């Protein structure tokens, strides 16, 4: 049995990663359950898991110890985020389960979060550790293996056509690290495009009077990818954005700053230096002014790259080895 452990209050990159993991495990006929450290009302992932018939549960201060004590040596706990990772390492004193943790955070943090992240790194000797980007991997003091994010590519529409007016999207948390301020600035200096924002966060106030269409936080982007031609990533820091992989698998062209694993994901023609992010406007204007075949060629190229290298099927053998599931996957 594989338990995906997380402390989650909203839907973001970690939650999307967990969703893809659960779907991949189920497709390989591996028993999987998502385990939340606590219940948060109105969390959008609960409904998604129910629709996909993926079991989940919540732990309380009363059930937490019992959960870990009842695990067998053949069980796998895969923890995500600093709180779940630190807790699951401490609880290995109770049972000899196989523990895997993933480092997702690519941005710098300060204050209390910095203390938690330090503790997360320096307790890493107690678990088998993964990182979603080479930059994150380099910052870990103990053994850590690169396992890039992946997405299910089945059913993704091939050979999409772009809209007559280029539709440009921002997907994710409205924060300084994700660069929502940059997205707004690019909107104000780029013609021939319509700009959309999917997400919520502490800098949502910047959208007031910004001239973009704000759709708020959505439970899933799957119904919305067809509304976009370009996903614009304006981030100051990233790992391997799940939004980028999902967009590319749906034929949406990704244009980005060169943060995290983005240089490994898209060609230079779709990248700009992070400290020269204003050039993203030039990349968008190129998509507007070039013949539609220019956008279509980028769409096909990126979609094929994701299917070949970042699909669940492409990553399964590595993941089965990490989980010690050789007999189950053979």
- Give the number of other Cβ atoms within 10 Å of residue 39's Cβ: 12
Mean pLDDT of 226-254: 94
**Residue 248 predicted with pLDDT over 90:** yes
On the question of pLDDT at 106 being above 80, the answer is no
Residue 157 pLDDT grade (very low, low, confident, very high; cuts 50, 70, 90)? low
- Give the per-residue pLDDT at 112: 84
- Domains in the chain with CATH codes: 2-150+312-329 (3.40.50.2000), 166-309 (3.40.50.2000)
Which of 155, 148, 170, 167 is CA-nearest to residue 250?
A: 155
| Beta strands, E only, the chain | 2-6, 32-36, 56-58, 76-80, 98-103, 128-131, 144-146, 166-171, 193-198, 213-216, 230-233, 253-257, 271-272
pLDDT in tens, 35-51: 999 999 888 899 989 99
Q: Please choose, from the candidates 225, 299, 236, the residue with its C-alpha nearest in 3D space to the C-alpha of residue 269.
A: 299
Residue 327 pLDDT class (50, 70, 90 cuts): very low
Neighbours of 132 (CB within 10 A): 27
CA neighbor of 295 nearest in space, from 195, 161, 202: 161
| pLDDT over 60 at 186, yes or no | yes
Tallying the residues shown for the chain, one arrives at: 330
Q: Is 90 exceeded by the pLDDT of residue 240?
A: no
């Amino acid at each position: 049995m594989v338990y995906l452990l997380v402390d989650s209050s909203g839907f973001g990159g970690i939650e999307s990663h967990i969703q893809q993991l659960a779907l991949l495990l189920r497709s390989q006929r591996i028993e999987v359950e998502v385990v939340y450290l606590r219940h948060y009302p109105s969390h959008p992932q609960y409904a998604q898991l129910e629709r996909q018939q993926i079991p989940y549960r919540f732990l309380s201060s009363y059930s937490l110890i019992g959960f870990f004590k009842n695990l067998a040596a053949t069980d796998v706990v895969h923890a995500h985020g600093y709180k779940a990772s630190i807790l699951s390492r401490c609880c290995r004193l109770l049972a000899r389960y196989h523990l895997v943790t993933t480092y997702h955070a690519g941005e710098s943090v300060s204050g209390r979060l910095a203390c938690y992240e330090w503790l997360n790194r320096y307790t890493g000797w107690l678990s088998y550790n993964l990182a979603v980007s080479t930059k994150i991997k380099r910052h870990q003091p103990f053994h850590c293996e690169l396992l890039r994010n992946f997405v299910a590519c089945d059913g993704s529409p091939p050979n999409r056509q772009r809209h007559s007016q280029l539709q440009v999207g921002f997907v994710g948390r409205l924060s300084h690290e994700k660069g929502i301020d940059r997205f707004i600035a690019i909107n104000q200096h780029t013609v021939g495009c319509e700009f959309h924002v999917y997400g919520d966060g502490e800098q949502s106030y910047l959208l007031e009077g910004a001239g973009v269409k704000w759709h708020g936080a959505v439970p899933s982007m799957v119904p919305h990818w067809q509304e976009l031609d370009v996903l614009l990533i304006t981030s100051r820091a990233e790992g391997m954005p799940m939004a980028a992989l999902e967009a590319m698998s749906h034929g949406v062209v990704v244009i980005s700053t060169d943060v995290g694993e983005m240089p490994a994901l898209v060609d230079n023609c779709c990248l700009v230096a992070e400290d020269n992010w204003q050039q993203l406007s030039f990349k968008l204007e190129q998509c507007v002014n070039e013949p539609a075949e220019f956008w279509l060629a980028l769409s096909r190229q990126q979609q094929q790259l994701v299917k070949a290298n970042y699909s669940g099927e492409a990553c399964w053998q590595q993941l089965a080895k990490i989980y010690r599931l050789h007999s189950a996957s053979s």
